[in-house]
Copies of this chain bind each other. A is one copy, B any other.
Amino acid sequence: MNYRSKYKAPILTVDAVIFQMSGDQLHVLLTKRANEPFKGDWALPGGYCAQGSTTMEALSQIVKRKVGVDLESQLGYVEQLYTFDTVARDPRGHAVSVTYMGCGRAIEPAAAEQEIAWHGVDQLPTLAYDHEKIIAYARERLAAKLTYTNAAMGLLDRKFTLSQLQTAYEAVMGRTLDKRNFRKKFLSLGLIHETPDMWREGAHRPAKLYAFNNNSLEALSRSFD
């Protein structure tokens, strides 16, 4: 096939799975679709990627406009998740969607074009397209990343207590962890350090605040032999 002849590119869309902690639950940012198809259903924020901008640039603009979140400044980190495509995915024709996953903390969306809401990942409403699968995949990916990177950074304030860290791990992984083992293990990884500050809240002993050593995503190496 020759590009100049009769080549017609598939529709290219981008979608974002934006996570944050709310209480002790992992939540995902959704928007209510105002138009067909799937009018009235909840969906991941996303839209078209046009010629001339990268998928990440397109996503930034779309997310900013539609749900009022600035990926650059309001998320701890963003990474590409997967590219989904099926001829039937979008009723309007063949679509390819490049999806990204990001984690943030206490995100305050600015004015947005669309109705938005945070939903607990364990209590999702009916979702448009295959977005339920995409969210499940994003959560799996994030859970895997937690075991060998400092990705939890994205879900926490710059300074956090070990209990907050553990709560985030439990929310993403969907199971409880042992407090002593979690602390022992995590501290031995060397990803975080103590700060002089304490977290005081409620009628109980205050907690030491920790911070990640590295503000960008850091991976530990795994070994085989």
Contact present for A225 and B94 (CB under 8 Å): no
Specify which of B3, B49, B80, B96 is in contact with A82 (CB 8 Å cutoff): B80
Range for the number of chain A residues in contact with chain B: 35 or more
A38 at the interface (CB under 8 A from B): no
**What chain B residues lie within 8 Å of A133 (beta carbons)?**
none
When all copies of this chain in the complex are counted, the total is 2
A: residues with CB less than 8 A from B are: 1, 3, 7-12, 47-56, 80, 82-83, 85-87, 92-94, 96, 98, 144, 146-148, 169, 173, 177-178, 181-182, 185, 222-225
**CB pairs A–B below 8 angstroms (21 shown):** A1-B47, A1-B48, A3-B11, A3-B48, A8-B50, A9-B10, A9-B51, A10-B49, A51-B94, A53-B87, A55-B83, A55-B96, A80-B82, A96-B98, A146-B224, A147-B222, A169-B224, A173-B224, A178-B225, A181-B225, A182-B225
